[in-house]
Amino acid sequence: MSDFDEDLFDGFDEDQGDELVAEDWPTVATPVPVWVLLSGCSPRAFKMYAFLAEHINVNLRDPRKRIACPKQKAIAAILGLKDDRKVARYRKELEALGAIRVEKYRYAGGMRQGYKYFVRYNPPVGYDGDMVLKQFYAGHPEFRSAAKWEGRTEAAKKTAAIPAQGSGSAGEGAAPKPPAPKPSRRGAGGEVALPPDVLKVLGAFRPELRAAMRETAHTDAPKTLVTAVTKALKGRTAEQLVDRVLRRWTTHGYEAKFEAGQLERPVGAAVAMLRHGECPDAGCEDGTVLESGEACVLCIERGKNYKADHAAARKSAKEAAAADARRAARAMVCPSCEQDRGTDGTVCPECVTGMERDVAEAAEKAARDIARMATVPEEWSDARARVLAEAAAAREDARQAGADQLGELLAAQLAARAAAREAHRVRLAALGGDEEVPPPAPDPVPQSAPPTPARPEPVKCSGARWDGSPCGRLTEAADGLCGVCRGAQNVKHEDDLATVH
């Protein structure tokens, strides 16, 4: 039983929404006639017709009763469309086929618009498509082996002998003659009679390719290839297409693929050989203008662009490969000395030893500076241990921050050097280096004495820091040295005396 056997359409007025009207009535209890199935309409258009026709079919008990048309959103849901506005495409397809007829009307005082769908069960006047499956298989001999007919009833063979209602010119009970098959498409015995130009192009394909098509598609003239030939003949003559397929069989590499056993889809290869090239000029035939016989300028430019793009792509790929090789090579060397010492990218033992030795030397230097002080500050009582502790703390902080082995070693090295400089600065400060030599106090100036001459302008210190860089401090001393550099000279003098003794 159909889902629409229930009386779901009560309560509608004549001025509500879209309306569905039966254009004529089927003679058998089937919602979708065979001629619609064989008409070649799209699957969604066929599904829309079946959906509308089923609403008519379940209401045959009372033809006078108004049939509520399903909403466009319901049709979209049946067709699997998210946007119900796309239903119009398949409605127009069914209208062009003659399966339905749509009329607009106004309701609600002319404020709203509705549609009346007139659903046709029998083919319209002038329909020349297939009516029954036998005609379909007659037009597709490649499927004939699959069609096994056991006979049909006389009623099924006379599908077209139904009155075409609403035609206007014919009478109410007049039965139009069944549409005659196309003379150009069908010959005696139901065989397909193709046009001479199509046959000429089909015969131009190499015998080995045609044999391969017969093995895979059971015919050397499948419908897909015939359609491609017919379409190509709209822009080229049969002779030009013959030259095209013969030329492309070799130049496009199909012959080599066939000989190597790599031509898996013979029909697809045949269709591809018929297509127009990539040039936007319709008069271009594989790089040659047909009217003038000269080389196509657009193809020349396209070739230049292709070569330039190909060269750029090759250059980019080459540079990327070189960069990858460099990264791979760097990954194998020591990140500190950048030498391949067999450490697989880790810091080599020589660099580790050198950095640890640098930390130890900084600790020893700080210990020597503090040992020469007369009064040692409490925080520098063990200068060596303090420098080593600061280096270890810096290394641990770097490790927790995610640094690698080299980062940890560098952090420890920098911390040890900074601590050694701080110890040296403390020693210089203890020697009085931070105090400038005070100028002599001036004598009392009598009232009649001349004015005191102005103090000399400060100049930059001529001394050097402990690392050899210029001092740069300002001083007013007569010797041109600041207090820090003067203290450093005194320390050096003491060291020299100790060395002599």
> How many CB atoms are closer than 10 A to CB 477?
17
Which tops the pLDDT comparison, 36 or 445? 36
- Residue 175 confidence class, pLDDT cut points 50, 70, 90: very low
d(CA 272, CA 265): 11
73 φ, ψ to 5°?
Answer: -65, -35
Does the structure show a pLDDT above 70 at 122? yes
Q: Which of 420, 425, 426 is nearest to 391 (CA)?
A: 420
pLDDT of 42 reads 92
What the block records as the tokens of 310 is: 């190909």
pLDDT of 185 reads 41
pLDDT of 15 reads 46
Give the relative orientation of helices 405-430 and 483-500 as an angle to the nearest 10 degrees.
90
- Residue 127 confidence class, pLDDT cut points 50, 70, 90: confident
112 φ, ψ to 5°?
Answer: -130, 155
- Report which residue type is found at 263: L
- Report which residue type is found at 391: A
pLDDT of 172 reads 43
Which tops the pLDDT comparison, 179 or 501? 501
What the block records as the tokens of 452 is: 């005191």
pLDDT of 300 reads 85
- Residue 79 confidence class, pLDDT cut points 50, 70, 90: very high
pLDDT of 452 reads 58
Average pLDDT over residues 50-76: 73
| Sequence ranges of the domains in the chain | 19-139, 191-275, 349-430, 459-500
Average pLDDT over residues 253-266: 90
The architecture that CATH gives domain 19-139 is Orthogonal Bundle (1.10)
114 φ, ψ to 5°?
Answer: -130, 175
Portion of the chain with pLDDT greater than 70, in percent: 74
Going by their DSSP bridges, the two strands 19-22 and 112-119 should be labelled as parallel
Which tops the pLDDT comparison, 491 or 375? 375
pLDDT of 460 reads 83
